[in-house]
Structure 1
Amino acid sequence: MTTLASNGTTKGKDSLRAPSVVVIGAGMSGVAMGAKLKEAGIEDFVILEKGRSIGGTWRENTYPGLTCDVPSHWYQYTFAKNPEWSHLFPTQPEIERYLDETADRLGVTPRIRFGEEVVEAVFEDGKWRVATTKDVYSADFVVSASGVLHHPKTAPLPGLDSFQGALFHSARWDHSVPLEGRRVGVVGTGSTGVQIVSALSKRNVDVTLFQRTAQWVAPLPNPPTGPVLRWALRTFPALNTVFYRTLRVLFGGLFQGVIHPEGIRYKLVNAFCHLHLRTVRDKGLRAKLTPPDKPMCKRTVIHPAFYRAVQRPNVHLVTEGIDRVVDNGIVTKDGQLHELDVLVMATGFDFHAFVRPAKIVGDGGRTLDEAWAESGPRAYRTVAVPGFPNFFFVMGPHSPVGNFSLVGIAEAQAKYIMGWIDRWRTGQFDFAEPRQDVTDAYNAEIKEAVKGTIWVSGCNSWYLGKDGAPELWPWSPWKHERMLSKIAEDEFALTKSGP
């Protein structure tokens, strides 16, 4: 067992106790948590990462055309602003490089243990025992920063194992497979499927898109930032902060406003999406691309050229349901065989997994699976769960994911968690966990607020939980920041084990 240095002893002249911390995941959330721990002078921590490098979902996903749908200068840490973003919306290689360089520069990388997937974390005898595929760690605090988009989902298509061509999920893209001159099938029409089809349409590739449900597409352009802007941001760092805050207000306010269908912002976006659909000249194709639900009911797909791509002669849209997969392609319910050389499953992720499948065992032997068995994933203010002392989430249940910048959300949550760790250092408590009654009241408030959003207007989205209600934050991202800006100690059960 690897025991981190802390034994509740004091550290230095300030007589602060030195906590030991295990962080699960070295993606965007884990790097944020590591940076905050370093900033506080805490060195006794490790970040356990199942992969071989930093990046999380930006390491796992490398498919053609991958671009973030949140503006570059908003999708960054406030403590590590990057003036060199090449476009309004960042590409996957840029984001992965930004996270890697930030972790290196802030001294987080040496604390990461790569290739160590967490198997279980058990709270026993006043400590967390965290077991990985390689080692066992003992710590005072555990922070789950495993993200929400890291467990790929594959549609259970009959005969999938019989396909003789190249078959892979979009998050496991096989770059050794040649695509030029070949027939490529893409299953899924979310943001991933749209980006893949748009990118492949420009190449010598015959693309067939299998669409179960059409999606609304917002055609926001992705212009280059240009050398003048990059020079200005590099030369005058204060402009970086201005630019960050401007994009935060513009895009954060827009996406928060459009979740309420009675507002003017929603009506404008609704009209914008309908007008964009009219750019599909062929009425038959346009009808196939017309969604049955309202814009924003599902996560908005943002792409400047998908409708142009799907009208190209080498792109074929199939709306008949899939009957089965055969050795040389897909047979749809109308009996037609669509011959394929490559099949890509752009079928998304398990949004409700969080830190699982790792087994998390709290006080008294109750597991996280048991705590969430009836209600689905629930937490206190997106960051903690009753019955799990000194265990916190970055990007936990009901975090403001949607179309907001997850970097800012993670930063606010990491800062909140540091508030509890700082209190532990001064001896105010040994174990802290949120009260069940307060957590229940908070989740009831969310459930009531969600009723007034576009998410409940009638669509089957990956937002929906076991009870059919969206598991999303129904307010603005800055309300979330304000909520986490102060610690309400009376909403927690605090325990001191001794003097």
Structure 2
Amino acid sequence: MNDKCHKRTAIIGAGMAGLLAAINLKKAKREFMVFEKADSLGGTWRDNRYPGLTCDVPAHAYTYSFAPYAEWNAYHATGPEIKRYFEKVASDYGITPFIHFNTEITACHFQEASANWELTDAHGENHIFDIVIVASGVLHHPSTPDITGLDDFQGSCFHSAQWEDDLVLENKNIGIIGCGSSGIQIATALTSVANQLVHFQRSPQWIMPVEQFNYTEEEKQDFRDNQQLIDDIRYDKQYWDNIYRFNKGIINPDSPEMQMIEDICRDYLEASIQDPALREKLRPDYRAACKRLIYNWQYYDCVQNQNVFVETGSIDRVMASGVQMQDGTFHTLDILVLATGFHADRFIKPTSVIGRNGLSLDTFWSPRPTAHYAVTLPGFPNMFMLNGPTGPVGNFSLIDIAERQWEYIDQLLSIIHSGDAETVEPKISAFEDYEKRRIEAAQKTIFSSGCSSWYLDNTGIPMTWPWSYQDFADAMQQPILSEYDIRGAS
């Protein structure tokens, strides 16, 4: 291979998407390095270690298509299990030696003269690459609530993604602020050990009931002996019917599919909560799926325990020994968990990214983060995003989404590696057309039906793929090359 075709790729992030990119590049015998800011791989499954952490996608569906796993302990896997899975995959595919741990990339600057990227890490070292794969993830910048007196609390107070591993939980008075997936899972896990648990819910969530059960050792052995049994779960018709039903519902809020989702969530609430007052506390005032649906199988049981109090009032301030409510109620606490989510609009930030002609990513992402078909950026040549802005969101496997995106990206990479192009980036006209159509469609989805959500950008527009799941799969099968500015062809 001549020097012109010998291209080096930097992968930013060693979570699920970064490992996927590395495995595919290694398989294609392409030179790459992975930069990881932390001391281990796993992304969100490394950062989040809270009790009760569970993926809401069936375990056998939350795996790479090329790396089935027979060792899952239950239908829905725990966070530690998932982290072990990714560590095993990285080891099995020989990726770990390519990862530079404790090496945060602080700057990515495109060099016009040489048509490559200069990356600077937190140690002050510079690295030159031809291609950059951004696999930094979405939910990794914790959002801390602006509550008066939060620093005055004398007990343990921390964000759910910064769990204090040695914390003694037994017989403690525990407060949990937030009722997204993390808050619901933590509350569910701690009701059995806490003396008193207060779940602060500014806005209760709709819950979709799902099943959960353990696999026996005999069943695991069957999975080891017969991969078809794993595929039967991964490609289960009911699982995919649910995905397509959900997708049809969110893009058409008036559809029968959306009505079915709302009926299931409402009926689950009505049938599960016996106390009418508690039931009304837990009833959201917005439509199901406007916020990300909670998939859970036991929260409604746990929240009815005598040691649990659901607090839907407004917090006045946090004090040394607990939380003061505006109505005068005071909750004495030993531990305060902030399950308050993440800044979902930052992605690779705070890394300084400067593209062609000095264009900064901050400028390009004003007023909202976006990318052409959720993958590429005009003005940022040879930079590709996995699970970036405007991609599909929902209760399905993001591994599947990333694999489909890789199929799209790899076809653009082939143009570069073949020597037929030096740089590839979407034309601004094509991107603007995509974004105009996307915004128009996004405003008609369930996400715009009237609620506050991390799906929304600063202007209230959903940062999502607003068309069908199949439309996304079709779009990722092949990039439309006429939409791309392909320069430096040999």
The TM-score normalised by the length of structure 2 is: 0.96
Q: Which amino acid aligns with 1:133?
A: A
CA contact (8 A) 2:173 2:194 kept: no
CA contact (8 A) 2:177 2:199 kept: yes
CA contact (8 A) 2:14 2:99 kept: yes
Q: What aligned pairs does 1:368-447 form with structure 2 within 5 A after superposition?
A: 368-374=361-367, 376-447=368-439
Q: Which amino acid aligns with 2:323?
A: I
How far off its partner does 1:476 sit?
3.2
- CA, structure 1 residues 300+402, in 2 after alignment: closer, same or farther (shift >3 Å)? same
How far off its partner does 1:228 sit?
4.5
Name the counterpart of 1:27: 15
Whether 1:321 aligns to 2:310 is: no
Q: What aligned pairs does 1:271-350 form with structure 2 within 5 A after superposition?
A: 271-278=263-270, 279-350=272-343
Deviation per CA, 1:54-92: give whole Å up to 9, x if none: 100000001000100111111111011112222111110
Deviation per CA, 1:96-142: give whole Å up to 9, x if none: 00101001111111110000111010001311011111232110001
Q: What aligned pairs does 1:161-180 form with structure 2 within 5 A after superposition?
A: 161-180=151-170
Aligned equivalents of 1:164 and 1:18: distance in 2? 57
Q: What aligned pairs does 1:98-497 form with structure 2 within 5 A after superposition?
A: 98-124=85-111, 125=113, 126-134=115-123, 135-246=125-236, 249-259=240-250, 260-278=252-270, 279-374=272-367, 376-496=368-488
How far off its partner does 1:441 sit?
0.9
How far off its partner does 1:469 sit?
1.3
Following TM superposition, where does structure 1 have runs of at least 4 consecutive aligned residues deviating by more than 4 angstroms?
Answer: none
Percent pairwise identity: 37
How far off its partner does 1:462 sit?
1.0
Whether 1:94 aligns to 2:87 is: no
Name the counterpart of 1:5: none
Aligned equivalents of 1:231 and 1:263: distance in 2? 43
CA contact (8 A) 2:109 2:118 kept: yes
CA contact (8 A) 2:265 2:288 kept: yes
Residue 325 of structure 1: SS of its match in structure 2?
Answer: strand
- CA, structure 1 residues 228+453, in 2 after alignment: closer, same or farther (shift >3 Å)? farther
How far off its partner does 1:233 sit?
2.7
Q: Which amino acid aligns with 2:86?
A: L
CA contact (8 A) 1:36 1:415 kept: no
Unpaired runs of 5+ residues, structure 2, are none
CA contact (8 A) 1:402 1:472 kept: no
Q: Which amino acid aligns with 1:344?
A: V
Aligned equivalents of 1:416 and 1:96: distance in 2? 27
Name the counterpart of 1:48: 35
Aligned residue pairs, count: 484
CA RMSD of aligned residues (A): 1.5
CA contact (8 A) 1:185 1:340 kept: yes
How far off its partner does 1:350 sit?
0.8
Bigger mean CA deviation after superposition, 31-40 or 244-253: 244-253
Whether 1:18 aligns to 2:9 is: no
CA contact (8 A) 1:37 1:418 kept: no
CA contact (8 A) 2:443 2:462 kept: no
How far off its partner does 1:425 sit?
1.4
How far off its partner does 1:47 sit?
0.7
- CA, structure 1 residues 446+228, in 2 after alignment: closer, same or farther (shift >3 Å)? farther
How far off its partner does 1:41 sit?
1.2
Aligned equivalents of 2:151 and 2:268: distance in 1? 38
